[in-house]
Amino acid sequence: MHLLDNESGGHGLRPGAFTKASSVPKILANGQLPPPSMDHLDELEAQSIYILREAFARLKKLALLWSLGKDSNVMIWLARKAFFGRVPFPALHVDTGKKFPEMYAFRDRFGKEWDLDLKIEPCPPIDAVDPTLPPAARSAARKTEGLKWALTKYGFDGLIAGIRRDEEATRAKERVFSPRGLEGGWDVRDQPPEFWDQFNASPPPGAHLRIHPILHWTEADIWAYTKRENIPIIPLYLSKDGKRYRSLGDQDITNPVASTASSIDEILTELDGTKVPERAGRALDHETEDAFERLRVAGYL
């Protein structure tokens, strides 16, 4: 496990620590390996790589939404695996300007180290957002608007997003390839059928698709894979003074949860026993019963 830790001196990083990954079993001297039987993480990885390659093959102009969190970092890692080291499309960070300093430090370092084609797009001021939404949801909706701006600016026809079914009930209903309307909206009542890894990848002109390569992963899967692959993380996920962040968003609408987990192993043990939902610290999920769904129908992630 490696951390981006602002308090560890220098520019806050342990040099060289990020380059070694342990994903592949050691190759024996005589070049022989027993036939690999896939474990659960292998299956998840293979499925995600398949989805990423399908998206790259079938859409014209893709971008990967990089929120800097644990999920989208796993997603970038998977994209590098799918495409043999380099992500062949831009990583888009729709920046609310209100993220934690640790997140910006992480972005600046790994955007370079992972050789990403990083595009940073701003969000509109809060005044430009639907005033009928509750405060936190309204704040989060800036990101939806920022996303629409970026879509218009670049003309992407596919956006790869790191949402998961286990995070939240409306996300559980998502398709892997999820069509969006011309305004970026999600018509949950008229989702096309999707089966046998055959995806609907023909958005009408002007509309776009959301592609969800880690939809089938769980929070515990993300951490177990992060550990196995030695993927760097932002230190805010680990316990400090009895608290840690389970999910990272804007500073003003994201709260830490009580936790003593100070390593990925301890996080996994903690998740094994918890019944508290992952997004408990995300204010916007809890303001009203349907605030999150309204956000998503309008094009939020």
Using alpha carbons, select from 251, 247, 255 the residue that is nearest to residue 283: 255
Question: How far is 106 from 69, CA to CA, in rounded Å?
Answer: 10
Residues 221-250 contacting other proteins, CB under 8 A = 221, 223-225
Question: In angstroms, what CA-CA distances link 242 with 20, 47, 108, 233, 245?
Answer: 30, 36, 28, 19, 11
Rounded to a whole number of angstroms, the minimum distance from the CB of residue 54 to other proteins is: 7
Question: How far is 43 from 236, CA to CA, in rounded Å?
Answer: 29
191: its two tokens: 């989702």
Rounded to a whole number of angstroms, the minimum distance from the CB of residue 231 to other proteins is: 11
- Which position among 6, 8, 152, 198 is part of the footprint of other proteins (CB under 8 A)? 198
Q: Which is nearer to other proteins, 88 or 125 (CB)?
A: 88
Residues 98-157 contacting other proteins, CB under 8 A = none
Q: Which is nearer to other proteins, 5 or 191 (CB)?
A: 191
Q: Which is nearer to other proteins, 79 or 129 (CB)?
A: 79
Total binding residues toward other proteins, as defined by CB under 8 A = 72
Question: 292 in the Ramachandran plot: left (φ > 0), alpha (ψ -120 to 50) or beta?
Answer: alpha
Residues 40-59 contacting other proteins, CB under 8 A = 40-43, 45-47, 49-50, 53-54, 56-57
Question: How far is 36 from 57, CA to CA, in rounded Å?
Answer: 28
8 Å CB contact between 58 and 201: yes
Q: Which is nearer to other proteins, 95 or 167 (CB)?
A: 167
Residue 255 binding other proteins, by CB under 8 A: no
Residues 67-96 contacting other proteins, CB under 8 A = 80-86, 88
- Candidates 2-10, 59-67, 183-191, 237-245: pick the segment binding other proteins (CB under 8 A): 183-191
Which residue matches tokens 């830790």? 5
Q: Which is nearer to other proteins, 128 or 172 (CB)?
A: 172
- Candidates 112-120, 127-135, 245-253, 287-295: pick the segment binding other proteins (CB under 8 A): 287-295
Rounded to a whole number of angstroms, the minimum distance from the CB of residue 187 to other proteins is: 11
Question: How far is 234 from 237, CA to CA, in rounded Å?
Answer: 6
Residues 4-23 contacting other proteins, CB under 8 A = 21, 23
Q: What is the dihedral of CA 278, 282, 284, 285, to 10 degrees?
A: 20
SS3 content of the chain, % helix, strand, coil (to 5): 40, 10, 50
Q: Which is nearer to other proteins, 252 or 265 (CB)?
A: 265
Question: In angstroms, what CA-CA distances link 245 with 48, 54, 136, 236, 250?
Answer: 26, 33, 17, 6, 12
- Which position among 166, 185, 243, 287 is part of the footprint of other proteins (CB under 8 A)? 166
Rounded to a whole number of angstroms, the minimum distance from the CB of residue 153 to other proteins is: 25
